[in-house]
Structure 1
Amino acid sequence: RSPLIVIGIIGSVIALLLGLILKTNKLENPIKQKHEENNKISAKDIGELFKTRNFILGIIGAVGSIGFTLCLSTYAAAFLANETNASTGRLSLMIAASGIMGMLSNIVLPAISDRFGRKPSYMICSIGLLLSPLVLIVFKSNMNSSLPLILYCLSFLVGGCAMSLNTYVIVGESVNPMLITTAYSICLCAGEIIGGTIGPAVAGVVANKYGLTMALVFAMAFAGLCLLASVFMKETLKETATKEQEKDVVNE
Protein backbone atom coordinates (compact mmCIF):
# COMPACT_ATOMS: atom_id res chain seq x y z
CA ARG A 1 0.00 0.00 0.00
CA SER A 2 2.78 2.43 0.88
CA PRO A 3 4.44 2.37 -2.60
CA LEU A 4 1.07 3.17 -4.20
CA ILE A 5 0.72 6.25 -1.99
CA VAL A 6 4.26 7.35 -2.94
CA ILE A 7 3.46 6.87 -6.64
CA GLY A 8 0.35 9.03 -6.23
CA ILE A 9 2.35 11.79 -4.55
CA ILE A 10 5.00 11.71 -7.31
CA GLY A 11 2.29 11.90 -9.98
CA SER A 12 0.65 14.89 -8.26
CA VAL A 13 3.99 16.73 -8.01
CA ILE A 14 4.73 16.08 -11.70
CA ALA A 15 1.25 17.33 -12.67
CA LEU A 16 1.81 20.52 -10.65
CA LEU A 17 5.23 21.11 -12.23
CA LEU A 18 3.81 20.61 -15.74
CA GLY A 19 1.05 23.11 -14.98
CA LEU A 20 3.56 25.69 -13.77
CA ILE A 21 6.31 25.18 -16.36
CA LEU A 22 4.62 24.29 -19.65
CA LYS A 23 3.52 27.24 -21.76
CA THR A 24 1.05 27.31 -24.63
CA ASN A 25 2.81 27.24 -27.99
CA LYS A 26 1.98 30.56 -29.66
CA LEU A 27 4.19 29.97 -32.69
CA GLU A 28 2.63 29.53 -36.11
CA ASN A 29 2.25 26.04 -37.50
CA PRO A 30 5.80 25.07 -38.63
CA ILE A 31 4.55 23.84 -41.98
CA LYS A 32 2.68 27.10 -42.65
CA GLN A 33 -0.75 25.51 -42.63
CA LYS A 34 -3.64 26.41 -40.38
CA HIS A 35 -6.44 24.06 -39.46
CA GLU A 36 -9.16 25.96 -41.25
CA GLU A 37 -12.55 24.59 -42.16
CA ASN A 38 -11.40 23.64 -45.65
CA ASN A 39 -8.37 21.60 -44.62
CA LYS A 40 -9.62 19.43 -41.77
CA ILE A 41 -8.47 15.83 -41.70
CA SER A 42 -10.72 13.83 -44.03
CA ALA A 43 -11.41 10.14 -44.58
CA LYS A 44 -9.29 10.41 -47.72
CA ASP A 45 -6.35 11.66 -45.64
CA ILE A 46 -6.72 8.72 -43.26
CA GLY A 47 -6.91 6.41 -46.27
CA GLU A 48 -3.56 7.82 -47.41
CA LEU A 49 -2.08 6.81 -44.06
CA PHE A 50 -3.01 3.20 -44.73
CA LYS A 51 -1.08 3.34 -48.00
CA THR A 52 2.12 4.05 -46.05
CA ARG A 53 4.05 0.87 -45.30
CA ASN A 54 5.72 2.17 -42.16
CA PHE A 55 2.36 3.24 -40.75
CA ILE A 56 0.85 -0.24 -41.22
CA LEU A 57 3.96 -1.78 -39.66
CA GLY A 58 3.75 0.86 -36.93
CA ILE A 59 0.29 -0.41 -35.99
CA ILE A 60 1.67 -3.96 -35.77
CA GLY A 61 4.60 -2.70 -33.71
CA ALA A 62 2.30 -0.78 -31.36
CA VAL A 63 0.20 -3.92 -30.80
CA GLY A 64 3.42 -5.82 -30.13
CA SER A 65 5.04 -3.33 -27.78
CA ILE A 66 1.91 -2.59 -25.73
CA GLY A 67 0.94 -6.27 -25.64
CA PHE A 68 4.43 -7.17 -24.47
CA THR A 69 4.45 -4.49 -21.78
CA LEU A 70 1.03 -5.37 -20.40
CA CYS A 71 1.57 -9.14 -20.47
CA LEU A 72 4.96 -8.95 -18.81
CA SER A 73 4.03 -6.31 -16.24
CA THR A 74 0.85 -8.22 -15.35
CA TYR A 75 2.38 -11.67 -14.94
CA ALA A 76 6.15 -11.26 -14.32
CA ALA A 77 5.81 -10.66 -10.56
CA ALA A 78 3.39 -13.58 -10.19
CA PHE A 79 5.74 -15.80 -12.20
CA LEU A 80 8.74 -14.80 -10.07
CA ALA A 81 6.80 -15.38 -6.86
CA ASN A 82 5.16 -18.68 -7.78
CA GLU A 83 7.25 -20.37 -10.47
CA THR A 84 10.83 -19.51 -9.48
CA ASN A 85 13.07 -19.72 -6.43
CA ALA A 86 13.43 -15.92 -6.26
CA SER A 87 13.45 -14.41 -2.79
CA THR A 88 11.15 -11.48 -2.04
CA GLY A 89 14.14 -9.14 -2.14
CA ARG A 90 15.31 -10.45 -5.51
CA LEU A 91 11.78 -10.22 -6.94
CA SER A 92 11.50 -6.57 -5.88
CA LEU A 93 14.98 -5.78 -7.17
CA MET A 94 14.31 -7.27 -10.60
CA ILE A 95 11.02 -5.42 -11.02
CA ALA A 96 12.48 -2.09 -9.85
CA ALA A 97 15.72 -2.41 -11.81
CA SER A 98 13.91 -3.35 -15.04
CA GLY A 99 11.75 -0.23 -14.67
CA ILE A 100 14.83 1.98 -14.31
CA MET A 101 16.49 0.30 -17.30
CA GLY A 102 13.34 0.87 -19.35
CA MET A 103 13.45 4.57 -18.50
CA LEU A 104 17.13 4.80 -19.52
CA SER A 105 16.35 2.91 -22.72
CA ASN A 106 14.02 5.71 -23.83
CA ILE A 107 16.99 8.08 -23.59
CA VAL A 108 19.83 5.92 -24.88
CA LEU A 109 18.45 3.94 -27.82
CA PRO A 110 16.68 6.79 -29.69
CA ALA A 111 19.92 8.76 -29.37
CA ILE A 112 21.87 5.81 -30.80
CA SER A 113 19.34 5.59 -33.65
CA ASP A 114 20.26 9.16 -34.60
CA ARG A 115 23.68 7.84 -35.55
CA PHE A 116 23.14 4.29 -36.78
CA GLY A 117 19.60 4.48 -38.16
CA ARG A 118 16.08 3.80 -36.94
CA LYS A 119 15.65 0.37 -38.50
CA PRO A 120 18.72 -1.39 -37.02
CA SER A 121 18.08 0.23 -33.65
CA TYR A 122 14.48 -0.94 -33.65
CA MET A 123 15.53 -4.47 -34.64
CA ILE A 124 17.99 -4.60 -31.73
CA CYS A 125 15.30 -3.18 -29.45
CA SER A 126 12.88 -5.94 -30.50
CA ILE A 127 15.47 -8.62 -29.77
CA GLY A 128 15.84 -7.11 -26.29
CA LEU A 129 12.09 -7.49 -25.77
CA LEU A 130 12.25 -11.15 -26.79
CA LEU A 131 15.04 -11.83 -24.32
CA SER A 132 13.29 -10.33 -21.27
CA PRO A 133 10.69 -13.09 -20.67
CA LEU A 134 13.09 -15.71 -21.99
CA VAL A 135 15.56 -14.87 -19.18
CA LEU A 136 12.83 -15.47 -16.60
CA ILE A 137 11.88 -18.81 -18.14
CA VAL A 138 15.45 -20.09 -18.58
CA PHE A 139 16.67 -19.07 -15.12
CA LYS A 140 13.53 -19.83 -13.12
CA SER A 141 15.41 -22.42 -11.02
CA ASN A 142 18.41 -20.16 -10.46
CA MET A 143 16.83 -16.73 -10.05
CA ASN A 144 18.83 -15.65 -7.01
CA SER A 145 22.15 -15.63 -8.89
CA SER A 146 23.54 -12.44 -10.43
CA LEU A 147 23.38 -13.55 -14.07
CA PRO A 148 19.58 -13.48 -14.56
CA LEU A 149 19.37 -10.07 -12.87
CA ILE A 150 22.09 -8.67 -15.14
CA LEU A 151 20.58 -10.18 -18.31
CA TYR A 152 17.07 -9.07 -17.39
CA CYS A 153 18.24 -5.49 -16.82
CA LEU A 154 20.26 -5.46 -20.04
CA SER A 155 17.28 -6.74 -22.02
CA PHE A 156 15.17 -3.86 -20.71
CA LEU A 157 17.96 -1.36 -21.36
CA VAL A 158 17.96 -2.50 -24.99
CA GLY A 159 14.25 -3.11 -25.48
CA GLY A 160 12.49 -0.67 -23.17
CA CYS A 161 11.92 2.02 -25.80
CA ALA A 162 10.09 -0.15 -28.34
CA MET A 163 6.90 1.90 -28.14
CA SER A 164 8.70 5.24 -28.46
CA LEU A 165 10.95 4.16 -31.32
CA ASN A 166 8.16 2.41 -33.23
CA THR A 167 5.33 4.89 -32.93
CA TYR A 168 6.69 8.32 -32.11
CA VAL A 169 9.95 8.20 -34.05
CA ILE A 170 9.55 5.92 -37.07
CA VAL A 171 5.83 6.46 -37.73
CA GLY A 172 6.20 10.18 -36.99
CA GLU A 173 8.93 10.46 -39.61
CA SER A 174 6.98 8.43 -42.17
CA VAL A 175 3.68 10.32 -42.47
CA ASN A 176 2.53 13.76 -43.55
CA PRO A 177 3.23 16.22 -40.67
CA MET A 178 -0.45 17.26 -40.73
CA LEU A 179 -1.43 13.65 -39.98
CA ILE A 180 1.08 12.83 -37.24
CA THR A 181 -1.32 13.01 -34.29
CA THR A 182 -3.94 11.04 -36.23
CA ALA A 183 -1.32 8.38 -37.01
CA TYR A 184 -0.28 8.25 -33.34
CA SER A 185 -3.91 7.89 -32.26
CA ILE A 186 -4.64 5.00 -34.61
CA CYS A 187 -1.47 3.16 -33.59
CA LEU A 188 -2.18 3.63 -29.90
CA CYS A 189 -5.84 2.68 -30.26
CA ALA A 190 -4.97 -0.60 -31.99
CA GLY A 191 -2.18 -1.23 -29.51
CA GLU A 192 -4.35 -0.64 -26.45
CA ILE A 193 -7.34 -2.65 -27.69
CA ILE A 194 -5.52 -5.66 -29.14
CA GLY A 195 -2.22 -5.67 -27.25
CA GLY A 196 -3.25 -3.98 -24.02
CA THR A 197 -6.73 -5.41 -23.44
CA ILE A 198 -7.26 -8.61 -25.42
CA GLY A 199 -3.65 -9.81 -25.12
CA PRO A 200 -3.32 -9.97 -21.30
CA ALA A 201 -6.87 -11.33 -20.96
CA VAL A 202 -6.19 -14.23 -23.33
CA ALA A 203 -2.77 -14.78 -21.75
CA GLY A 204 -4.45 -15.02 -18.35
CA VAL A 205 -6.96 -17.60 -19.53
CA VAL A 206 -4.20 -19.70 -21.08
CA ALA A 207 -1.99 -19.28 -17.99
CA ASN A 208 -4.80 -20.48 -15.73
CA LYS A 209 -4.91 -23.70 -17.72
CA TYR A 210 -1.26 -24.30 -18.60
CA GLY A 211 0.74 -22.27 -16.06
CA LEU A 212 2.23 -18.81 -15.78
CA THR A 213 5.04 -19.69 -18.17
CA MET A 214 2.51 -19.44 -21.00
CA ALA A 215 1.79 -15.81 -20.07
CA LEU A 216 5.48 -15.06 -20.65
CA VAL A 217 5.31 -16.94 -23.95
CA PHE A 218 2.51 -14.56 -24.94
CA ALA A 219 4.81 -11.64 -24.07
CA MET A 220 7.47 -13.16 -26.33
CA ALA A 221 4.91 -13.52 -29.12
CA PHE A 222 4.07 -9.82 -28.88
CA ALA A 223 7.79 -9.01 -28.92
CA GLY A 224 7.98 -11.12 -32.08
CA LEU A 225 5.45 -8.78 -33.71
CA CYS A 226 7.82 -5.88 -33.02
CA LEU A 227 10.72 -7.81 -34.55
CA LEU A 228 8.58 -8.65 -37.60
CA ALA A 229 7.63 -4.99 -38.03
CA SER A 230 11.25 -3.87 -37.65
CA VAL A 231 12.48 -6.25 -40.37
CA PHE A 232 10.11 -4.80 -43.00
CA MET A 233 10.29 -1.14 -41.89
CA LYS A 234 11.78 1.39 -44.28
CA GLU A 235 14.60 3.48 -42.85
CA THR A 236 13.41 6.99 -41.92
CA LEU A 237 16.60 8.66 -40.72
CA LYS A 238 17.27 10.96 -43.68
CA GLU A 239 21.01 10.44 -44.15
CA THR A 240 20.83 6.67 -43.76
CA ALA A 241 17.72 6.40 -45.94
CA THR A 242 19.42 8.44 -48.69
CA LYS A 243 22.45 6.14 -48.63
CA GLU A 244 20.21 3.07 -48.86
CA GLN A 245 18.37 4.59 -51.85
CA GLU A 246 21.70 5.30 -53.57
CA LYS A 247 22.75 1.67 -53.05
CA ASP A 248 19.46 0.48 -54.55
CA VAL A 249 20.01 2.66 -57.61
CA VAL A 250 23.56 1.31 -58.05
CA ASN A 251 22.36 -2.28 -57.70
CA GLU A 252 19.66 -1.70 -60.32
Structure 2
Amino acid sequence: MLRKYLLQEFERRTHANPKYSLRAFARDLEIHSGTLSSILNERRAVGSKVLAHIMKKLPLSAMEKKRLFSEIITPPSNEAEVAPPLMLDEDVLSIIQDWEHYAILAYLQLRKAKHAPGDIAKALGLQQAKVLRALSNLENVNLIERQGHNFKVTQKSLATSRGIPSPALREAHLQYIDKAKSALSEFSVEERDITGRTMVVSSKNLPKAKELIRQFRHDLSELLEQGEADDVYRLNIQLFPLTHKSPLENLK
Protein backbone atom coordinates (compact mmCIF):
# COMPACT_ATOMS: atom_id res chain seq x y z
CA MET A 1 0.00 0.00 0.00
CA LEU A 2 2.88 2.38 0.68
CA ARG A 3 4.06 1.99 -2.90
CA LYS A 4 0.51 2.73 -4.12
CA TYR A 5 0.23 5.92 -2.06
CA LEU A 6 3.70 7.08 -3.11
CA LEU A 7 2.95 6.52 -6.80
CA GLN A 8 -0.39 8.31 -6.51
CA GLU A 9 1.21 11.30 -4.81
CA PHE A 10 4.09 11.38 -7.31
CA GLU A 11 1.58 11.25 -10.17
CA ARG A 12 -0.41 14.11 -8.63
CA ARG A 13 2.70 16.27 -8.30
CA THR A 14 3.98 15.55 -11.81
CA HIS A 15 0.56 16.44 -13.18
CA ALA A 16 0.80 19.82 -11.46
CA ASN A 17 4.44 20.23 -12.53
CA PRO A 18 5.59 18.07 -15.49
CA LYS A 19 9.23 18.82 -14.61
CA TYR A 20 8.85 17.36 -11.13
CA SER A 21 11.33 14.48 -10.82
CA LEU A 22 11.71 11.42 -8.63
CA ARG A 23 14.76 13.06 -7.08
CA ALA A 24 12.68 16.13 -6.21
CA PHE A 25 10.03 13.85 -4.70
CA ALA A 26 12.67 12.16 -2.53
CA ARG A 27 13.94 15.58 -1.47
CA ASP A 28 10.45 16.70 -0.43
CA LEU A 29 9.93 13.44 1.46
CA GLU A 30 13.31 14.03 3.10
CA ILE A 31 14.62 10.57 2.23
CA HIS A 32 17.47 9.43 -0.03
CA SER A 33 16.50 9.05 -3.69
CA GLY A 34 17.94 5.51 -3.67
CA THR A 35 15.70 4.60 -0.75
CA LEU A 36 12.63 5.93 -2.57
CA SER A 37 13.60 4.08 -5.76
CA SER A 38 14.04 0.82 -3.82
CA ILE A 39 10.62 1.18 -2.18
CA LEU A 40 8.88 1.94 -5.48
CA ASN A 41 10.60 -1.02 -7.16
CA GLU A 42 9.77 -3.25 -4.16
CA ARG A 43 13.44 -4.03 -3.51
CA ARG A 44 13.43 -2.81 0.09
CA ALA A 45 11.43 -3.65 3.19
CA VAL A 46 10.18 -0.59 5.06
CA GLY A 47 10.84 -0.31 8.79
CA SER A 48 8.61 1.47 11.28
CA LYS A 49 10.82 4.58 11.55
CA VAL A 50 11.03 5.10 7.78
CA LEU A 51 7.31 4.43 7.39
CA ALA A 52 6.39 6.89 10.15
CA HIS A 53 8.61 9.54 8.56
CA ILE A 54 7.13 9.05 5.07
CA MET A 55 3.55 9.07 6.36
CA LYS A 56 4.13 12.53 7.83
CA LYS A 57 4.98 13.78 4.34
CA LEU A 58 2.00 12.24 2.53
CA PRO A 59 -1.55 13.71 2.54
CA LEU A 60 -3.11 10.69 4.26
CA SER A 61 -6.13 10.54 6.53
CA ALA A 62 -5.77 9.17 10.06
CA MET A 63 -7.55 5.99 8.96
CA GLU A 64 -5.21 5.51 6.00
CA LYS A 65 -2.16 5.97 8.22
CA LYS A 66 -3.47 3.43 10.71
CA ARG A 67 -4.19 0.85 8.00
CA LEU A 68 -0.88 1.47 6.26
CA PHE A 69 1.12 1.06 9.46
CA SER A 70 -0.73 -2.10 10.52
CA GLU A 71 -0.42 -3.77 7.11
CA ILE A 72 3.29 -3.05 6.67
CA ILE A 73 4.57 -3.49 10.20
CA THR A 74 2.21 -6.33 11.23
CA PRO A 75 0.98 -7.92 7.98
CA PRO A 76 -1.87 -10.45 8.29
CA SER A 77 -0.51 -14.00 8.50
CA ASN A 78 -3.55 -16.11 7.59
CA GLU A 79 -4.79 -14.23 4.51
CA ALA A 80 -3.71 -14.94 0.96
CA GLU A 81 -1.65 -12.24 -0.67
CA VAL A 82 -3.83 -9.86 -2.66
CA ALA A 83 -2.61 -9.02 -6.15
CA PRO A 84 -2.12 -5.29 -6.83
CA PRO A 85 -4.72 -3.66 -9.09
CA LEU A 86 -4.08 -3.60 -12.81
CA MET A 87 -3.60 -0.03 -14.07
CA LEU A 88 -5.67 0.49 -17.23
CA ASP A 89 -4.21 2.81 -19.85
CA GLU A 90 -6.23 5.04 -22.16
CA ASP A 91 -6.06 2.56 -25.07
CA VAL A 92 -7.74 -0.14 -23.01
CA LEU A 93 -10.21 2.32 -21.47
CA SER A 94 -11.30 3.48 -24.92
CA ILE A 95 -12.19 -0.13 -25.81
CA ILE A 96 -14.14 -0.88 -22.61
CA GLN A 97 -15.56 2.59 -21.92
CA ASP A 98 -19.21 1.48 -22.00
CA TRP A 99 -20.64 0.58 -18.59
CA GLU A 100 -21.61 -2.98 -19.50
CA HIS A 101 -17.94 -4.05 -19.67
CA TYR A 102 -17.40 -3.33 -15.97
CA ALA A 103 -20.79 -4.82 -15.04
CA ILE A 104 -19.96 -8.04 -16.89
CA LEU A 105 -16.56 -8.27 -15.19
CA ALA A 106 -18.28 -8.02 -11.81
CA TYR A 107 -21.09 -10.41 -12.78
CA LEU A 108 -18.64 -13.12 -13.90
CA GLN A 109 -17.18 -13.14 -10.38
CA LEU A 110 -20.49 -14.29 -8.86
CA ARG A 111 -20.03 -17.96 -7.96
CA LYS A 112 -23.48 -19.01 -9.18
CA ALA A 113 -23.52 -16.82 -12.28
CA LYS A 114 -24.48 -18.47 -15.57
CA HIS A 115 -21.97 -17.54 -18.25
CA ALA A 116 -24.01 -18.00 -21.40
CA PRO A 117 -24.38 -14.65 -23.24
CA GLY A 118 -28.17 -14.95 -23.02
CA ASP A 119 -28.03 -15.40 -19.24
CA ILE A 120 -25.66 -12.45 -18.84
CA ALA A 121 -27.94 -10.30 -20.99
CA LYS A 122 -30.99 -11.25 -18.91
CA ALA A 123 -29.22 -10.60 -15.59
CA LEU A 124 -27.97 -7.15 -16.61
CA GLY A 125 -30.94 -6.08 -18.73
CA LEU A 126 -28.90 -5.92 -21.94
CA GLN A 127 -29.37 -7.00 -25.53
CA GLN A 128 -27.46 -10.18 -26.28
CA ALA A 129 -25.60 -8.47 -29.12
CA LYS A 130 -24.17 -5.95 -26.64
CA VAL A 131 -23.05 -8.76 -24.34
CA LEU A 132 -21.31 -10.58 -27.19
CA ARG A 133 -19.52 -7.38 -28.24
CA ALA A 134 -18.47 -6.63 -24.65
CA LEU A 135 -17.21 -10.18 -24.06
CA SER A 136 -15.16 -9.96 -27.24
CA ASN A 137 -13.68 -6.61 -26.16
CA LEU A 138 -12.83 -7.90 -22.68
CA GLU A 139 -11.17 -10.97 -24.18
CA ASN A 140 -9.18 -8.85 -26.64
CA VAL A 141 -7.70 -6.73 -23.82
CA ASN A 142 -7.01 -9.88 -21.72
CA LEU A 143 -9.40 -9.03 -18.88
CA ILE A 144 -11.23 -12.35 -19.33
CA GLU A 145 -10.27 -15.72 -20.78
CA ARG A 146 -12.37 -18.65 -21.97
CA GLN A 147 -12.45 -21.87 -19.98
CA GLY A 148 -14.68 -24.25 -21.89
CA HIS A 149 -18.14 -22.69 -22.01
CA ASN A 150 -17.33 -20.28 -19.19
CA PHE A 151 -15.25 -17.13 -18.77
CA LYS A 152 -12.68 -16.44 -16.10
CA VAL A 153 -11.83 -12.90 -14.96
CA THR A 154 -8.06 -12.56 -15.21
CA GLN A 155 -7.77 -9.49 -12.96
CA LYS A 156 -10.26 -8.85 -10.16
CA SER A 157 -8.94 -5.43 -9.18
CA LEU A 158 -8.59 -2.63 -11.74
CA ALA A 159 -7.33 0.93 -11.37
CA THR A 160 -7.12 4.07 -13.50
CA SER A 161 -4.93 7.16 -13.29
CA ARG A 162 -6.10 10.01 -11.08
CA GLY A 163 -6.20 13.71 -11.90
CA ILE A 164 -5.54 13.17 -15.63
CA PRO A 165 -8.27 13.99 -18.19
CA SER A 166 -9.65 10.84 -19.85
CA PRO A 167 -12.37 10.96 -22.53
CA ALA A 168 -13.07 7.23 -21.99
CA LEU A 169 -13.55 7.62 -18.21
CA ARG A 170 -15.70 10.70 -18.77
CA GLU A 171 -17.98 8.70 -21.06
CA ALA A 172 -18.19 5.86 -18.53
CA HIS A 173 -19.10 8.31 -15.75
CA LEU A 174 -21.83 9.87 -17.92
CA GLN A 175 -23.32 6.44 -18.58
CA TYR A 176 -23.26 5.52 -14.89
CA ILE A 177 -24.97 8.79 -13.97
CA ASP A 178 -27.72 7.88 -16.44
CA LYS A 179 -27.95 4.43 -14.82
CA ALA A 180 -28.33 6.09 -11.40
CA LYS A 181 -31.18 8.24 -12.78
CA SER A 182 -32.92 5.12 -14.09
CA ALA A 183 -32.46 3.35 -10.75
CA LEU A 184 -34.73 5.94 -9.10
CA SER A 185 -37.73 4.45 -10.92
CA GLU A 186 -36.53 0.87 -11.55
CA PHE A 187 -35.64 -0.14 -7.98
CA SER A 188 -37.32 0.19 -4.60
CA VAL A 189 -35.88 2.29 -1.77
CA GLU A 190 -34.91 -0.98 -0.05
CA GLU A 191 -32.67 -1.86 -3.01
CA ARG A 192 -31.05 1.55 -3.53
CA ASP A 193 -29.75 4.51 -1.57
CA ILE A 194 -29.63 7.81 -3.47
CA THR A 195 -29.19 10.85 -1.27
CA GLY A 196 -27.43 14.18 -1.46
CA ARG A 197 -26.39 17.25 0.48
CA THR A 198 -25.77 20.84 -0.58
CA MET A 199 -23.16 22.67 1.48
CA VAL A 200 -20.80 25.60 1.57
CA VAL A 201 -17.16 24.54 1.39
CA SER A 202 -13.62 25.79 1.68
CA SER A 203 -11.91 24.91 -1.60
CA LYS A 204 -8.58 24.26 0.11
CA ASN A 205 -10.12 21.18 1.77
CA LEU A 206 -11.09 19.49 -1.52
CA PRO A 207 -7.94 17.30 -1.72
CA LYS A 208 -8.68 15.94 1.76
CA ALA A 209 -12.33 15.44 0.80
CA LYS A 210 -11.30 13.39 -2.23
CA GLU A 211 -9.06 11.22 -0.06
CA LEU A 212 -11.95 10.61 2.36
CA ILE A 213 -14.18 9.61 -0.55
CA ARG A 214 -11.52 7.24 -1.89
CA GLN A 215 -11.13 5.67 1.55
CA PHE A 216 -14.91 5.36 1.93
CA ARG A 217 -15.14 3.57 -1.42
CA HIS A 218 -12.48 1.12 -0.28
CA ASP A 219 -14.07 0.49 3.12
CA LEU A 220 -17.58 0.07 1.69
CA SER A 221 -16.31 -2.35 -0.94
CA GLU A 222 -14.62 -4.46 1.73
CA LEU A 223 -17.85 -4.53 3.77
CA LEU A 224 -20.16 -5.48 0.90
CA GLU A 225 -17.79 -8.18 -0.40
CA GLN A 226 -17.89 -10.08 2.90
CA GLY A 227 -19.65 -13.42 2.58
CA GLU A 228 -20.79 -14.92 -0.71
CA ALA A 229 -21.53 -12.30 -3.37
CA ASP A 230 -24.96 -12.72 -5.00
CA ASP A 231 -25.55 -9.43 -6.83
CA VAL A 232 -23.78 -6.69 -8.80
CA TYR A 233 -24.03 -3.10 -7.55
CA ARG A 234 -22.50 0.21 -8.66
CA LEU A 235 -21.47 2.96 -6.21
CA ASN A 236 -21.58 6.50 -7.58
CA ILE A 237 -20.32 9.37 -5.42
CA GLN A 238 -20.73 12.81 -6.94
CA LEU A 239 -19.12 15.88 -5.41
CA PHE A 240 -19.23 18.95 -7.65
CA PRO A 241 -19.55 22.74 -7.45
CA LEU A 242 -22.80 24.57 -8.06
CA THR A 243 -21.08 27.95 -8.36
CA HIS A 244 -19.11 28.72 -11.52
CA LYS A 245 -16.00 30.83 -11.07
CA SER A 246 -14.17 30.12 -14.34
CA PRO A 247 -14.80 28.62 -17.81
CA LEU A 248 -14.80 24.84 -18.07
CA GLU A 249 -11.24 23.57 -18.53
CA ASN A 250 -9.53 20.18 -18.41
CA LEU A 251 -12.74 18.19 -18.23
CA LYS A 252 -12.14 14.77 -16.71
TM-score by length of 2: 0.28
TM-score (norm 1): 0.28
Query: Which structure features the higher share of strand residues?
Result: 2
Higher helix fraction (1 or 2): 1
